Amino acid sequence: MPTLPLKPDSAFSPVQMAEFLISAKVPMRLACNGSNGFPLVASHWYQYQDGLLYLAIHSKSHVAALLHKNPNCGFEIAADTAPYRGVRGQGTVSLGREGAGAQLEGLILRYLGSTDSKLARWLLSRASEEYLVCITPTWITSWDYSERMDS
């Protein structure tokens, strides 16, 4: 199993990092390099497995076009409510078609719980137009302000 390139000052140990990435069900904020020279941040459902982060994005999306031009990205996975803790890092992206539909279905099950909703059916109707996105982190770190907030 690949190990995460964890920064030494990370609040989470490697095991805690993996547990957080597997259990957190908040979207990832993905930052890519915009064509205007400014970063573009977009939220995406993700899944963590064996040191890699996986997404599914529509092949005709602006984010897909930007990632094709420049595979470097930043990411953050954190809730907007207390206790404030999360993960951030940078990595490189690979885009491919193989496995994209299965990844999309897995993400729908992870975030929606079933494929029976109108949204799930609509997303699955476009599964053949999705890219499987794999982010290989170049570095990753975490923060956890839980103890500070206990009062």
| pLDDT at residue 80, rounded to an integer | 87
Inside any domain, residue 111: no
Q: Give a yes or no: residue 90 inside a domain.
A: yes
Structure tokens at 83: 């206790």
In a domain, 38, yes or no: yes
Rounded Cα gap, residues 59 and 117, in angstroms = 22
* Mean pLDDT along residues 115-130: 97
In a domain, 106, yes or no: no
CA dist 50 → 13, 24, 34, 105 (Å) = 15, 16, 29, 19
Q: What amino acid is encoded at 7 in this protein?
A: K
What is the residue-averaged pLDDT of the chain? 94
pLDDT band at 147 (very low <50, low <70, confident <90, very high): confident
Please state the domain count of the chain. 1
| Spatial CA neighbour of 25 closest among 7, 47, 4 | 47
pLDDT in tens, 8-29: 999 999 999 999 999 999 999 9
- Structural domain span for residue 32: 14-96+134-144
Element of type H or E holding 122: helix 118-125
Q: Among 42-46, 104-108, 144-148, name the one with the lowest average pLDDT.
A: 144-148
Q: How far apart are CA 61 and CA 3, in angstroms?
A: 31
Specify if 40 maps to a domain. Answer: yes
- State the pLDDT at residue 149: 62
74: domain CATH number is 2.30.110.10
Is 50 contained in some domain?
yes
Is residue 150 included in any domain, yes or no?
no
Question: Is residue 52 in some structural domain?
Answer: yes
pLDDT at site 146 = 76
46-90 pLDDT, tens per residue?
Answer: 999 999 999 999 999 999 999 999 999 999 999 888 888 999 999
